[in-house]
Chain A
Amino acid sequence: MSASLEKGIHALKEVIDAPIASYFESCVHCGLCAEACLFYTETGDPKYTPIHKLEPLRRVYEQEYTLLGRLKKVVGLSKPVTDAELDQWQELVYDSCTMCGRCSLVCPVGNDIVYMVRKFREGMAVSGHVPDGIRSATKRTVELGGPMGLKWPAVANVLKHVEENTGLKIPVDQAGADYLVLLSSMEIVNYPEYIEALAKIFHKAGISFTLASDAYEATNAGIQIGSSDLAKVIVSRIVDAAEKLKVKNVLSPECGHAYMAIRWEGPNLVGRPFGFNVVHVLELLDELRLKGVLKMKDKLKDPLILHDPCQIVRRGGVLQAPEPLIQQVAENYIPIADKQKLNWCCGGGGGASAIHTEEAEALRAKAFKIKKRQIEEAGVDTMVTFCANCRITIEEGFDHYEMNTKLLGLTELLAEHLED
């Protein structure tokens, strides 16, 4: 109950750093980022131009850190940022930005616009301009352990079912394992098949793994809302558990932003290098494929396309693993034009899928038209992806447009066709 404009501005002053200064100074106002943003291409509304979503941050930078800006502020040419303005910007910086990073990719002067959105959210968070959905997800993650409010007993219950279905033991809190397996709540609740698939593959490959009862949640709502302090609290749980259990590797689940949070933001949040490696599940699977462990008994015949989750591929750098893996299990994989690092976002990343206002949902549905078009142009009935959040968003999109497209998770697909 203490969020305020002053705190917000203070936070912005704090986060503005050399990269942000140089980004704002080098922006040439070409507008290429607009064409890279699905919220602009699908609505045609110029307010969704990515760099425009940062206007209040730009003004704070100008007024606080440039001579001309200070002068403009004094003579009234540059208006101070107000609460009302930030309120207006909330939609632009949360509802209509999934931090997918396509704008950063196309920027001709190399401005990382997503980096700035992430920092801008720091100020939005402490000035109280955040969507309720993301705020409550953050609260649940900090207070209860996960964005959906799952507690360990519920997770243990799911694991019991997994053990029954697969006949394989799921180790918990086992020190010295090769991999500490992290999950996202969505996988636990909506896609427990993922855990079954992992157990099967680990068993086949002879790799030891464990779950941690005090750190099973991989997602980090603190990053989505834009609060490094809270994000640090959340990520520290994993770091502490991994170092307590002395595991060699921490395995990020398919979930995109979880990978981003633990692999790329994590060490910066805790302020030191980790004593373990962070591996994305696809990186591990591709390694197993190259070792020849991942042999398939048969292949899926249906023609299908791949949806590359932004935070894993474009932002996360797992560029080479997905295609060989899908080709391993699918006979008729069709590469689409905008694939890999150029892929279009599902529309629900960066916390957007947690916002359940009518406007936000309508906007997501509009933005989803681009995925719909990709599916229709490829003429397929099946799409494969590897991010639980993408899966939820895409399934919502399918429902909205009453499409009969099948959506499959890559890890499960591989486990299903794995040689016995």
Chain B
Amino acid sequence: MQGPLIDTLARRGVTRRTFLKYCATLASMMALPPTAGRAMAEAMAAARRPSVIWLPFQECTGCTESITRSHSPTIEGMIFDMISLDYQETLMAAAGHQAEEARQNAMKDNAGKYLLIVDGSIPLGHDGAYSCIGGRSNVDMLKEAAAGAAAVIAVGSCASFGGIPKANPNPTGAVSVSDLVKDKPIVNIPGCPPIPVVMTGVLAHYLTFGSLPELDDKGRPKSFYGNTIHDRCYRRPFYDQGKFAKTFDDEGARQGWCLFELGCKGPVTHNACATVKWNGGTSWPVESGHGCLGCSEPDFWDGGSFYKALSAPADPLKFAAAAAVVGAGAGVAVSVANRVKKNTAKATHETTTLADLEK
């Protein structure tokens, strides 16, 4: 893949106009000023391809699938052409010692400059023996690769927060990237899997501005994880009106009402699904009729049933009767007291005469 990205794209039938539009969309999604779209396009079109090392650890390859296995080639996929992906087990042709050599070379040649992408959590149990590549444990490889990286991008909930491997009882002692790497900038792109455009957004930002986008307290890009699913959900008006689907096949479900009572975790899940959607903007979980699982939040697997409403009390009416009685009793007591006071005042009324008008 030689020459600037724009030429590569042109060869694949992507016009400059389409590319510019894409960059403008990307910029606006990341809440950058409109001029940033042009800057992005220029920077990316002519980008010197940075070296990227992608380390897959204790994972299911879903994150890689999400980004690479679309129905048709997407611009997201092609963006990969602007980086020099020097090591990616799933995608690379090399195998065995050749592959390990490629990684070593990339680390040596681009020391301090390469981007390290990690998907999957890192098991620490039994000295990391649960997940080894080429005879080396994941924790070992991560420490080595992170030492020379400019920044680490943790792709997927496993790399970001430990994900499903870390779920109770966490048999492998899985941890996240940020649990181990403390001295490098880390971007978490959680999600199971994460949205492809978030990934490309972060890469585009890095290529354009030479820095990482603004992050929230959990290390996630604010532009994509700033709002909850619930904040941006197209079913939100039904929530506000108190219209809820009670089962998956009732009238409410057919009418497309809010899935809160069916366990939707949208209100506590920060992600961009509701605005960006999936599969090229085709649909997303809530649109297909199922509540959000909250997959991009830490420990989502241990948050109780996916079908249990977030804040419904176990038995809402347990104390209602007692509370009503106490409330009514207090109300009656206060009103009787007030009535007595007012009636006393009335009963002791002295008819006002002219003399009463003067001091």
Contacts and interface: CB of A to CB of B under 8 A. Distances in A.
Contacts, number: 58
B352 A126 contact: yes
A125 interface: yes
Nearest to A13: B345
A10 B348 contact: yes
Interface in A1-24: 1-4, 7, 10, 13-14, 16-17
B182 interface: no
Contact of A7 (B342, B346, B354, B356): B356
Contacts of A1: 355, 358-359
Given A14-B345, A138-B354, A67 B334 contact: yes
Contacts of A13: 341-342, 345
B352 A125 contact: yes
B358 A128 contact: yes
Contact of A227 (B338, B345, B346, B357): B357
A16 B338 CA distance: 10
Given A13-B341, A67-B334, A227 B352 contact: yes
B351 interface: yes
Contact of B358 (A3, A16, A227, A229): A3
B349 interface: yes
Contact of B352 (A4, A143, A230): A230
Interface size class on chain B is: 10 to 19
A13 B358 CA distance: 20
B328 to A, nearest CB: 16
A275 B334 CA distance: 40
Nearest to B343: A14
A64 interface: yes
A3 B359 CA distance: 5
A4 B359 contact: yes
A177 to B, nearest CB: 33
Contacts of A119: none
B342 A142 contact: no
B164 to A, nearest CB: 51
| Secondary structure class of chain A's binding surface, majority of residues | helix
A183 B156 CA distance: 89
B275 to A, nearest CB: 36
A119 B342 CA distance: 14
A126 B348 contact: no
Task: Report which residue of B342, B346, B348, B349 has the largest number of chain A beta carbons within 10 angstroms of its beta carbon.
Answer: B342
Nearest to B351: A229
Nearest to A16: B342
A128 B358 CA distance: 5
Contacts of A225: 357
A230 B350 CA distance: 12
Given A14-B346, A67-B334, A3 B341 contact: no
A401 interface: no
Given A10-B348, A14-B345, A227-B352, A130 B334 contact: no
A138 B357 CA distance: 9
A229 B354 contact: no
A313 to B, nearest CB: 31
A67 B345 CA distance: 18
A139 interface: yes
B359 A128 contact: yes
Nearest to B359: A128
A115 interface: no
A364 interface: no
A135 interface: yes
A7 B351 CA distance: 11
Contacts of B346: 14
A135 B345 contact: no
A125 B357 contact: yes
Interface string A131-169: 000010011001100000000000000000000000000
B352 A14 contact: no
B354 A142 contact: yes
A142 to B, nearest CB: 6
A229 B349 CA distance: 10
Contacts of B359: 1, 3-4, 128
A264 interface: no
Interface of A: 1-4, 7, 10, 13-14, 16-17, 64-65, 67, 125-126, 128, 130, 135, 138-139, 142-143, 225, 227-230
5 contacts: A7-B350, A14-B346, A130-B357, A135-B357, A143-B354
Given A14-B349, A67-B334, 20 more contacts: A1-B355, A2-B355, A2-B358, A3-B358, A10-B348, A13-B345, A14-B345, A16-B342, A17-B342, A126-B357, A128-B357, A135-B358, A138-B354, A138-B357, A139-B354, A225-B357, A227-B356, A228-B352, A229-B351, A229-B353
Give the 3 A-B residue pairs with the shortest CB-CB distance, closest first: A128-B359, A229-B352, A14-B345
